[in-house]
Amino acid sequence: MFEALGNRLQGVFDRLRGRGALSESDVSDALREVRVALLEADVALPVVRDIIAKVRERAVGQEVIRSIQPGQQVVKIVHDALVEALGGGDEGARGLDLNAPSPIPILMVGLQGSGKTTTSGKIALRLKGRERKKVLLASLDVHRPAAQLQLAQLAERAEVVSLPIVAGQSPLQIAERAMDLGRRELYDVVILDTAGRLAIDDALMDEVAAVKAAVKPHETLLVVDAMTGQDSVNTARAFNERVGITGIVMTRVDGDARGGAALSMRAVTGAPIKLLGAGEKLDALEEFHPDRIANRILG
């Protein structure tokens, strides 16, 4: 992810750094190129405008232009604006919030194919390993019979328990059975993997909203595929409006996604990206650090 954007920006900044002195028009020219690079990376237009306006305001000041390394200063200003768009500095580096009484329900939502079930398995493995948590996985997907089996197989690979499959139950019944078992057998975390659809529809949203109202999850994580670009931002907006989410997991960042969605999510949805899926393997899950991502983009 971000490869093309990174290359474009590095080209712009190499030219800026190469110059001893900068005029306002040098900065304006560079910002025009940064703007095009961001748009080509599929960053949402209002977010591009905001980033460029901030950078212009901070970079056109006389202090920057008169400083000893003006090019370097402009790069730093762009870096900081990217960090802000990605959700903030150190405080932007968020893992999951596990500060709640056990069993902590985590609701996984998203479109079919986004990587929701795989991510549920990854989170279970991480919580079991790093955090030493006792984790229960449960699939509420009654629409695709294979989905519950897929989660059970993932649970086996992660060596965590999955809720026994009972045919004929509704998503709500499964969720309640999972929370009951979680309470009875003293699980720390219960991960509830909801059904996805190929596109957003009312039935999907109603089902997810009903489960959310009943279970009151501590985290409602939306899983989106970075490769779907602006569509993933629209998906996030819709889920946030209809269901309410506490965080986003962006998957397939190991692919060649242009990355604009990651830069747009916070401004468009208000929800932070918490984790990144970076491969098919169960340990391919990364925490989201805005600062590191900005460094990755700027090289």
| Residues found near ligand GDP in the complex (CB under 6 A) | 110, 112-118, 196, 251-252, 254-255, 277-280, 284
Nearest to 272 by CA among 258, 293, 255, 298: 293
Q: In terms of CB distance, is 37 or 262 closer to ligand GDP?
A: 262
Nearer to ligand GDP, 121 or 290 (CB): 121
Residue closest to ligand GDP when measured from CB atoms: 277
Residue 12 Cβ, how far from ligand GDP at the closest point, in Å? Answer: 30
CB of 284 to ligand GDP, least distance (A): 6
Of the two residues 1 and 104, which places its CB atom closer to ligand GDP in the complex? 1
CB of 40 vs ligand GDP, minimal distance in Å: 23
14 C-beta neighbours (distance < 10 Å), count: 12
Pick the closest to residue 124 from 114, 137, 107, 108 (CA basis): 137
Nearer of residues 180 and 201 to ligand GDP, judged by Cβ: 201
Q: What is the DSSP letter of 219?
A: E
Q: For the CB of residue 183, give the shortest distance to ligand GDP in the complex, in Å.
A: 26
Tell how far CA 42 is from the center of its chain: 16
Q: How far is the CB of 299 from ligand GDP (least distance, A)?
A: 23
Calculate helix-pair angle for 24-40, 3-17, nearest 10 degrees. Answer: 170
Its sign, for the CA torsion 260, 265, 267, 272, is negative
- Min. distance of Cβ 117 from ligand GDP in angstroms? 3
Q: Kindly tell me which of 8 and 212 has the beta carbon lying closer to ligand GDP.
A: 212
Residue pair 109/223 in contact (Cβ under 8 Å)? The answer is yes
Beta strands in the chain (DSSP E): 104-110, 135-139, 161-162, 189-193, 219-225, 247-251, 273-277, 285-287
Closest CB to ligand GDP among 196 and 272? 196
Radius of gyration of the chain (CA): 22
Q: Which lies closer to ligand GDP via its Cβ, residue 172 or residue 284?
A: 284
- Other Cβ atoms less than 10 A from the Cβ of 179: the count is 22
Q: How far is the CB of 42 from ligand GDP (least distance, A)?
A: 18
**Whole-number Å distance between alpha carbons of 59 and 103:** 50
Reading the block at residue 283, the tokens are 């340990």
Distance CA 224, CA 112 (A): 10
